[in-house]
Structure 1
Amino acid sequence: MSHPYRALSPNVVMSAIESTGIWPAGEPFALNSYENRVLLFRDDERRGWVVKFYRPGRWSKATIQEEHDFLHELKNAKVPVVAPWRNSDGHSLHHFEGYDFALFPQCVGQAPELDNPAHLFALGGLLARLHRVGEKKTFLHRGTLDMPEGIAQARERILTSDWLTVHQRRAYERVTTQLQEQVAPYLKKEIAIIRCHGDCHLGNILGREETFTLVDFDDCLMAPAIQDIWMLLAMDDPQTWRAQLSEISEGYEEERAFPHDQLTLIEPLRSYRLVRHSAWLVDRWSDPAFPQAFPWVAGSGYWDQHIRQLEQQRLQLASPRWLA
């Protein structure tokens, strides 16, 4: 089966970049990215750039443009993000031989230290500033986080594949059915949703000392604000996550009221991410980058471990430890 990036040769990459009027000083260097193809290069003035080729068929042009517009809105509001470069016509989304791509100035830095109270406080303030802008408008073309539907789609993808043994299939079907039933009640109450980063983990935050920048808004969507917070908290150590939450919420409160009423969504959101991640790996397996990066997924042991992890998550959902 042909994969979406078969035609994205080094020559095509270079020609695409040059079509914007920016001239690479050397061959771009591939960065760790699986959903899209992301490469680093320097231009003839020695400025660092990142070029991102969006996965064909995943997002519409309107959806990508809405990401770009959100980034520029955040940049104009002085929120530290990396907004895409615009050409003289004001365009940030470019096209070459069937590929949509964008150019971003290189952001240099390190991930924050989650055992550093000053870093946590700074992250709280950064996310509050993001959300203060995010709540001003709504996305028209990007999605809304829907946990029951997302779990159902991912579950169906796994159960209709041939990745599981008969025994694993029965166990997976049982535990995911239970997870769906447990997640549903959390969404019966009214929950405020805003424009969020959507995938706010350490790999998407860069900085130095206590100044951080958010990168990679590829998954931005309408979601509860807690979606951008929970992945920064230690999940297996209550004493640590309480200390982390205290620092993050204190920094957040400097800019915006912290969404304490959404803390009970953390375990459902974690369940959603766990189920979706394995389905994502299965969906992308025809892309050669995935078997190379995640070879263990093809082994039966991975699925045994995944089912055990879902069982543990089912127990966590039954014990609401995130109630402050």
Structure 2
Amino acid sequence: MNSDTPFVTLTPECLLSAIESLGFRCDGRLLQLNSFENRVYQIWLEDGSQKIAKFYRPGNWSDDAILEDHAFTLELTEQEIPVVPPIIFNGKTLHHWAGHRFALFEKQGGRTPELERIETLEWVGRFLGRIHVIGACCEYKVRPSLDIQSFGIQSRDLIVAGNWLPDDVRSAWISVADQALDCVSHAYQRAGDVQTLRLHGDCHPGNLLWTDEGPHFVDFDDSRTGPAIQDIWMLLSGNELDARNQLAAVLRGYEMFCEFDDRELHLIEALRTLRLIHYSAWIARRWNDPAFIIAFPWFGTNRYWQDRILELREQVALMQEPPLI
């Protein structure tokens, strides 16, 4: 398969044939859902039901890494934690068809959670605590850690080596990125030797579906090993007072099931900084995919990198401030 166009052979005929290879009969209808890293589709079956099919990006995760993600969500499901695990067919969750790897999931309805409501944050916190209790029971053997080296330094080096930076902003971005990574390192030193565990890894509101029964956690594709606060900080928004109140609400629910180490609060802005640098590198890594060129036409422009410089300068200042308490 051509790595420059990783999904070029994933035609509608191909993906429907992949689904039918598992014994389903599709009625021909499909809807592509919002996903850049993988290709995700809602599929209609002849019996009127619907499934979600995720086709994994070639060369991203190994089969073993994907299966670790699947095993974690199945483990959580066994403990009645509301995640959406892959469907098992003939003892397998990961399937292959015409050079593509895919998994099927039940369609989970829901709406965006109202995270401005204290009771919603406490509810999410309770389930995050339960997820982390299970996440701490054993370690990933294949999936990587979320750390300064993989998210920060490697991302910074890729951007610099790839000549993505226009000449008139190149030195400024490199300087502020290096300063930011130095501040991240100091934040980790202040936090000390905190525990790491299996995480959701990308627990932003878009990966939470809310129903009358509460939250459902979806898309563990970015699951990694890291500190517990990684699954909490993306739920916080607004000004400092808002974020402090939101954090308190999440932790009230969280600590009903899992103890939280307050030293990890030193990592909130550090982890945000790593995510910002990693995001730019993620786009750069995927630039040969035509979908990225269409979706991110502004990437590589002077304005884009000027905004990133201002963003990182703000992060440097925030990492000098005392942590939320």
* Fold match by TM threshold 0.5: yes
Q: State the AA in 1 paired with 2:98.
A: E
Letter in 2 for 1:126: F
Matches within 5 A, 1:110-189: 110-188=111-189, 189=192
CA contact (8 A) 1:129 1:256 kept: yes
Aligned to 2:64: 62
- Measure how far apart 1:217 and its partner are: 0.3
Alignment of 1:190-269 (within 5 A): 190-209=193-212, 211-234=214-237, 236-269=238-271
Q: Deviations over 1:94-149 (max 9, x none)?
A: 00011110000001001211111111111101101111111111111111111244
* Mapped contact 1:281–1:290 kept (Cα < 8 A): yes
Mapped contact 2:165–2:300 kept (Cα < 8 A): no
Residue 294, structure 1, aligned to residue 296, structure 2: yes
Which residue of structure 1 lines up, in the alignment, with residue 77 of structure 2?
A: 75
Secondary structure of the structure 2 residue equivalent to 1:79: coil
Matched-pair contact (CA < 8 Å) for 2:16–2:28? no
1:210, CA displacement in angstroms? Answer: 5.8
- Specify the SS of the correspondent of 1:27: strand
The whole-number CA distance in structure 2 between the counterparts of 1:321 and 1:83 is 35
Find the aligned partners of 1:295 and 1:230 in 2 and give their Cα distance: 29
Decide whether the 8 Å contact of 2:51 with 2:104 is kept in 1. yes
Q: Which runs of 5+ in 2 are unaligned?
A: none
Give the partner amino acid of 1:223.
G
RMSD (CA atoms): 1.3
Secondary structure class of the residue paired with 2:81: coil
Greater CA drift, 175-184 or 68-77: 175-184
- Partners of 1:2 and 1:141 in 2: CA distance: 26
Cα separation, 1, equivalents of 2:100 and 2:285:
20
Contact conserved, 2:93 with 2:103, CA < 8 A, in 1? yes
**Amino acid across the alignment from 1:47:** S
CA distance in 2, matches of 1:229, 1:152: 23
Query: In the alignment, residue 251 of structure 2 is paired with which amino acid?
Result: S
In the other structure, the counterpart of 2:16 is 14
- What does residue 107 of structure 1 align with? 108
Which residue pairs with 1:37 in the alignment? 39
CA 1:203–1:241: 2 relative to 1, 3 Å: same
Q: What is the aligned residue count?
A: 321
The 8 Å contact of residues 119 and 209 in structure 1, kept in 2 or not, is answered as: no
Q: State which drifts further: 159-168 or 247-256.
A: 159-168
Residues 199-254 of structure 1: per-residue CA shift (max 9 Å, x gap): 000111102246010000001111101100000001x5011011111111111122
Worse-superposed segment, 71-80 or 313-322: 313-322
One-letter identity of the residue aligned with 2:278? R
% of aligned pairs identical? 39
Name 2:50's counterpart in structure 1. 48
Instruction: Give every structure 1 segment of 4 or more consecutive aligned residues whose post-TM-superposition deviation is greater than 3 Å.
Output: none
Q: Which amino acid aligns with 1:123?
A: V
| TM-score w.r.t. length of structure 1 | 0.96
1:173 deviates by: 0.9
- In structure 1, distance between residues paired with 2:150 and 2:81: 32
Q: 2:314: which partner in 1? A: 312
In 2: Cα distance, 1:320 partner to 1:100 partner: 45
Q: 1:149 to 1:37 in 2, by over 3 A?
A: closer
1:258-315 Cα deviation digits (max 9, x unpaired)? 3322111101100000000011111111111112222222432111111111111111
Contact 2:151–2:275 (Cα < 8 Å) also in 1: no
